[in-house]
Chain A
Amino acid sequence: MSRRRGRTARSRAAQHHRRLLVLVGLGLSGYALLLARAVQLQALDAEWLSQRAARQHNATMHLEPLRGEVLDRRGVLLASSAQVPSVTASPRRLENRDAAARKLARALGLQTRDVRARLDPKRSFAWIKRWVTPEEAERVRALGLPGVRLVPERKRFYPSRELAAAYLGFAGRDGDGLSGVELAFDSSLRGHPEDVAVLRDARGTKLPAVTAGREGRAGATLVLALDARLQHFAEAALARALERTGARRGTIVALDPRQGDLLTIAQVPGFDPNQFWTAQPTDYRSRGLVDAFEPGSTFKPFAVAVALELGVVSPDDLFDCEHGQWRVRDRRIRDWKPYGVLSVHDIVRLSSNIGMAKVAERAGARDLVVGLRAFGFGERTGSGFPGESAGVLHDLNDSNEVERANLAFGQGVSVTALQLASAATILANKGVKVKPRIALRLEQNGRVEAFAPQRGERVVSERTARAVLAMMRDVVRDGTGRGAALPHHTVAGKTGTAQKIVNGRYSMEHFVASFVGILPADDPRLVIVVVLDEPRRGTHTGGSAAAPTFRDVASFAVEQLQQMRGDEA
């Protein structure tokens, strides 16, 4: 009995053992299969599978860069970018295109036929309206049209609207700088787009990698030398001048003679760069840098400086001014008022053309041109501004007597307002050239790239510069530029009234009135050039039109300078 029970127990244990072995065997076989599959997946098919997985999971996200901001020298924001919605459509997905066109046109203030034309059924994508207002976006959203989407786009904004608009220029719909400073510094402002690897989930949602930034590599912040306050005041003063004189347009350029900083470059009329597509190319040309004009008598101080530097005249040398009329070959030169014998000093003070022609005769045409080129006439200032004009200064020889005489009083030569201001900084700087500086620095991720002032070569001696400044001071004290005088500050300046060429002849009806001024004359901190195009007769001279505008701007500017000095102290 007990043997039988023992056999049964052994048999059961053996049966359990067999079952267990079978189970373990099955389990191990399963694992072996898993292992084999793992080897197949991880080793044999690894490359093909990983490529396939990569195609499914990995994606590239294209990140557009954020265009850098533009600031004035005090940090005032002049240009920045922000996201605004644009309306797009997939015309193929629209069920009733006519109805959709009507609704979209009403919501966006467009013509129905224009919208219908854009909804071409052959196309899978169409822009309906770019850069819409928040209200328009809300109206489109409320329509709930299938196939119509609002997509975010970047738009460049100019919060001060017309302020320095032509100078700043603008960036186009695709974020590229198209004119002005926006174009000049486009490569620094635009930044760099980046393609970042991201993961894609089963629904196709892109999940950023940890290192993915929110934008591409953002553009640098550009800090201009421009002073927005002075710019605003100059534009306001120009608007008043246009109203007072009836001039068609005006330009003011202000430079800091020590650093060469372009503090102001104003022009009126202006335009709103926020809606650049409504402006004409003539509106957004920065006239102070691009437009060249005959300077007339504002050119005289430079011609005299060349003659003084050559040693062919001294300030006290006397010249017979022929009582207002003098013939050079077949050309009759006139003064605006008859003068007898005048010193070189008084020739500048009273703005005698005949006196200047005689000074130029002594200097000689060739040397006169060489000296004037040293002042920067006939070549770009090197500001780096796109489209900057070099003006015109022809080479002459001593047989060109008429041209030589004309050149001495600013005819037959053309200059930009910036060139004129830049040349005046040489006189203000005791004879040393300083290159105009548009920008102070670029800032990017804490890195600063500063643009140092660029002092150039000596053009005239300190003695010559002082002598010419003294003449210009007397122009304002009791000469043709009295309208530019300031009650508490000394001003050195020169007026200019140039006849415009109309139908190939110098007109007696169309003038360019200009004034170049340096202040304070005894310690120059500012050079201002005012140019008024076609002021009406009666207020058409540099003395009556441009000099008071200079005074208007200068009176504000000196207070700014005092403040800047106070800030520096």
Chain B
Amino acid sequence: MNARLRRGGSWLRIALGTALGVALGAGSLVWTRTEILTLRYELADLHTEEKQLRGEVEKLKLEAAALAAPDRIESLARALGLRYPQSGEVIHLSRLGHGGAR
């Protein structure tokens, strides 16, 4: 009888161990899947944010280029009383022997 009980106990341990192992495996599978999904959501948010920021950069670049447009600079300069130098009015220091005038 005791032997039968002992035999029964070892089967039970094996069965419970297997069940526990399967449950742990399934649990970790679910956890990793959930984690991947969470990361995908985070990634999607980051992609959206990146896209918005890139869009912002594009707009700022365009704005900077529009502000630096030659006709705008010229009209501002003229409003300040500036004019283009005439031929001979520009003296390059490098030609006077002061090379590296940058």
Identify the A interface with B (CB < 8 A): 10, 13-14, 17, 20-21, 24, 27-28, 31, 76-77, 80-83, 157, 159-163, 199, 201, 205-208, 210, 212, 214, 228-229, 231-233, 236, 486-489, 555-556, 558-559, 562-563, 566, 569
Contact residues in A for B37 (Cβ distance below 8 Å): 201, 207
Central interface residue in B15, B18, B37, B69, by most chain A CB within 10 Å: B69
Identify the B interface with A (CB < 8 A): 1, 4-5, 8, 11-12, 15, 18-19, 22, 37, 40-41, 43-44, 47, 50-51, 54-55, 58-59, 61-62, 64-66, 68-71, 74, 84-88, 90, 92, 94, 99, 101-102
B62 touches A82 (CB 8 A): yes
Contact residues in B for A157 (Cβ distance below 8 Å): 62
Contact residues in A for B41 (Cβ distance below 8 Å): 207
Q: Which 5 A-B pairs have the closest CB atoms?
A: A232-B70, A159-B65, A77-B65, A207-B40, A159-B66
A229 to B84, alpha carbons, bound, how many Å?
Answer: 12
B15 touches A488 (CB 8 A): no
Contact residues in A for B4 (Cβ distance below 8 Å): 17
With A80-B58, A81-B58, A486-B87 given, is the CB distance from A161 to B43 under 8 Å? no
A80 touches B1 (CB 8 A): no
B44 touches A160 (CB 8 A): no
Contact residues in B for A228 (Cβ distance below 8 Å): 70
- Nearest to B91 among chain A residues (CB) is A562
- Nearest to A83 among chain B residues (CB) is B55
List 6 extra interface pairs beyond A28-B15, A83-B55, CB under 8 A: A31-B19, A80-B62, A82-B59, A160-B71, A205-B44, A556-B84
A489 to B12, alpha carbons, bound, how many Å?
Answer: 106
B88 touches A24 (CB 8 A): no
With A77-B61, A487-B87 given, is the CB distance from A232 to B71 under 8 Å? yes
Contact residues in A for B94 (Cβ distance below 8 Å): 566, 569
B69 touches A159 (CB 8 A): yes
> Helix, strand, loop or mixed for chain B's interface?
helix
A24 touches B11 (CB 8 A): yes
Contact residues in A for B43 (Cβ distance below 8 Å): 207-208, 210
A159 to B15, alpha carbons, bound, how many Å?
Answer: 75
A489 touches B87 (CB 8 A): yes
- Nearest to B40 among chain A residues (CB) is A207
A83 to B74, alpha carbons, bound, how many Å?
Answer: 29
A selection of 5 A-B contacts at a CB cut-off of 8 Å is A80-B62, A159-B66, A207-B43, A232-B71, A488-B88
Contact residues in A for B90 (Cβ distance below 8 Å): 559, 562
Contact residues in A for B62 (Cβ distance below 8 Å): 77, 80, 82, 157, 159
A566 touches B40 (CB 8 A): no
A163 touches B65 (CB 8 A): no
Contact residues in A for B58 (Cβ distance below 8 Å): 80-83
B55 touches A17 (CB 8 A): no
Expressed in whole angstroms, the minimum distance between the Cβ of A86 and any Cβ of chain B is 15
Expressed in whole angstroms, the minimum distance between the Cβ of B25 and any Cβ of chain A is 12
A160 touches B5 (CB 8 A): no
A161 to B67, alpha carbons, bound, how many Å?
Answer: 11
A13's contact among B5, B18, B71, B88, by CB below 8 Å, is which? B5
- Nearest to B8 among chain A residues (CB) is A17
Expressed in whole angstroms, the minimum distance between the Cβ of B91 and any Cβ of chain A is 10
- Nearest to A199 among chain B residues (CB) is B40
B86 touches A555 (CB 8 A): yes
With A31-B22, A562-B92, A569-B99 given, is the CB distance from A214 to B65 under 8 Å? no
A562 to B88, alpha carbons, bound, how many Å?
Answer: 11
- Nearest to B4 among chain A residues (CB) is A17
